[in-house]
Amino acid sequence: MDPRAPKGTMDILPPESARRRRVVEAALSLFGAYGYREIETPIFEHTEVFARGIGEGTDIVQKEMFTFVDKGGRSLTLRPEATAGVARAFVQHRLDTSGLPVKLYYHGPMFRHERPQAGRFRQFSQLGVELMGSASPGSDAEVIALCAEFFAGLGVKVDLVMNSVGDAECRPAYVEALKGYLEQNLDGLCEDCRRRARANPLRVLDCKAPKCSGVVKGAPELGEYLCEACRSHREAVEGLLEAAGVSFRRDGRLVRGLDYYTRTVFEFQDPELGGQNALAAGGRYDHLVEELGGKPTPAVGFSIGLDRVMLAGPETGEEADGGVYVVAIGDEARPKAFALAQKLRKAGIRADLDHMGRSAKAQMREADREGFRLVAIVGEEELEGGFVTLRDLESGSQERVNEDALVEEAAGRLRGAAWGAG
């Protein structure tokens, strides 16, 4: 038996699990404050949902999906991202019939069969929102502002980069123009980009190889090709962000790898992270719902990569110390210690006690290590006298407290600690 977790997956242990939970809770409560409600969709879907939704030609669909056949012969796939599944649920449950827009958030694991590296795993965790049913620039601005606020709240410094990839009206013409330009300048491109020129011409714009910079500089710009509707949409979104004080950088070379994006695309990048610097990304997808069999429904959303955010060092605050550790001295005192711990727990106070048969000294050490504020000592004297010795680990002072008054006394002291009154 090999006890190692599968490649690209990981166990999240304390105390990291607690830090993560605080980040998730901060995000979910923020989503709620913006009027979003939670949706849970299956971890796996019919393969077709992703193939059609994300795009047959994308890398995700072509080589990164965990696909399997079930006993009924159906092809299923572990979700590589959440938006396609949410859009599918939107169609299935006719969510458009109960008033638009529909504002949903989700969080959970996603799966892509890729070679793991820093900030990239085969099972990874995303949090995101989808605002469905509105084509208004205000909805783009809302989700972007929401995401910006999420990072600000955690003290994570990010750069917001935005672009417009046009729509069905104007993008094809641009791609043709770009392709033509690249074909004529193949000599000035790196090896990878010569291949990309055909397969994924937009990607060439984002190449970091020095050799390509000259050609990239002279390339036709997507911005020039935007139709009037896309251009004014972009300006409206940018205007709203400026008015709201959300700073961003427009980058005509920002290209996203999912086919469903239209018009607005954006990324929140951490300039200090290595290769995987996109902490969150999203955009508008006005044709996805239709593609999955629903009525034409414009929508916009984003997804936050939780694992990457954790790498960026979010400020989550400290784990609150406190509570009462009940120390039993001598085996005769253990039943009483157990009963007292239960009383404290039932009163909502964090309480614990030794299960290892350890000495008083070792129990004290355990209390200290586990961050307890108070220790309630039960020994021979205490048993006889019906009291406990309550010790404050911070101040080092201790006193006798009547056994029946322990819960009340401990609650009072812990509350005082929370106020910082010592």
- Residues of this chain, 238-257, that bind RNA according to CB under 7 A: 255-257
Question: How far from 399 is each of 71, 106, 377, 378, CA to CA, in Å?
Answer: 67, 50, 10, 12
Q: How far is the CB of 317 from RNA (least distance, A)?
A: 21
Q: How far is the CB of 181 from RNA (least distance, A)?
A: 17
Q: Which amino acid is at 402?
A: N
291 makes contact with RNA (CB under 7 A): no
Question: How far from 301 is each of 36, 143, 390, CA to CA, in Å?
Answer: 11, 6, 53
Q: Which is nearer to RNA, 96 or 387 (CB)?
A: 387
Q: How far is the CB of 273 from RNA (least distance, A)?
A: 8
**Whole-angstrom distance, CA of residue 172 vs CA of residue 226:** 10
Q: Which secondary-structure segment (H or E) carries 294? A: none
Q: Segment 117-156, which members bind RNA (CB under 7 A)?
A: 117-121, 124, 126
64 makes contact with RNA (CB under 7 A): yes
Q: How far is the CB of 179 from RNA (least distance, A)?
A: 15
Q: Which is nearer to RNA, 291 or 307 (CB)?
A: 307
Q: Segment 97-116, which members bind RNA (CB under 7 A)?
A: 112, 114-116
278 makes contact with RNA (CB under 7 A): yes
From 65, 344, 377, 401, residue interacting with RNA (rule: CB under 7 A): 377
323 makes contact with RNA (CB under 7 A): no
81 makes contact with RNA (CB under 7 A): yes
350 makes contact with RNA (CB under 7 A): no
**Whole-angstrom distance, CA of residue 307 vs CA of residue 111:** 13
Q: Segment 32-61, which members bind RNA (CB under 7 A)?
A: 58-60
Closest CA to 105 of 172, 8, 27: 27
Specify the residue for token string 């129990």.
363
Structure tokens at 94: 């006719």
Q: How far is the CB of 27 from RNA (least distance, A)?
A: 13
Site string for RNA, 357-376 (x = CB under 7 A): -xxxxx-xxxxxx-----x-
From 279, 310, 312, 344, residue interacting with RNA (rule: CB under 7 A): 279
Q: Which is nearer to RNA, 295 or 361 (CB)?
A: 361
Q: How far is the CB of 243 from RNA (least distance, A)?
A: 26
From 26, 393, 411, 417, residue interacting with RNA (rule: CB under 7 A): 393
Q: Which is nearer to RNA, 132 or 204 (CB)?
A: 204
Structure tokens at 8: 């690209």
Q: How far is the CB of 102 from RNA (least distance, A)?
A: 21
Q: How far is the CB of 356 from RNA (least distance, A)?
A: 7
320 makes contact with RNA (CB under 7 A): no
From 196, 233, 263, 413, residue interacting with RNA (rule: CB under 7 A): 196
Within its chain, how far is the Cα of 48 from the centroid? 25
SS3 state at 127 = strand
303 makes contact with RNA (CB under 7 A): yes
Question: How far from 343 is each of 52, 84, 278, 376, 408, CA to CA, in Å?
Answer: 57, 49, 48, 12, 11
At 76, phi and psi to the nearest 5? Answer: -120, 155
Question: How far from 285 is each of 35, 36, 164, 167, 176, CA to CA, in Å?
Answer: 20, 18, 12, 9, 22
Cβ-based burial of 57 (10 A; exposed 0-12, middle 13-18, buried ≥19): exposed
Q: Which is nearer to RNA, 172 or 385 (CB)?
A: 385
Pairing between strand 351-353 and 324-328? parallel
192 makes contact with RNA (CB under 7 A): yes
**Whole-angstrom distance, CA of residue 207 vs CA of residue 419:** 54
415 makes contact with RNA (CB under 7 A): no
Q: How far is the CB of 70 from RNA (least distance, A)?
A: 24
381 makes contact with RNA (CB under 7 A): yes
Q: How far is the CB of 264 from RNA (least distance, A)?
A: 14
Neighbours of 22 (CB within 10 A): 16
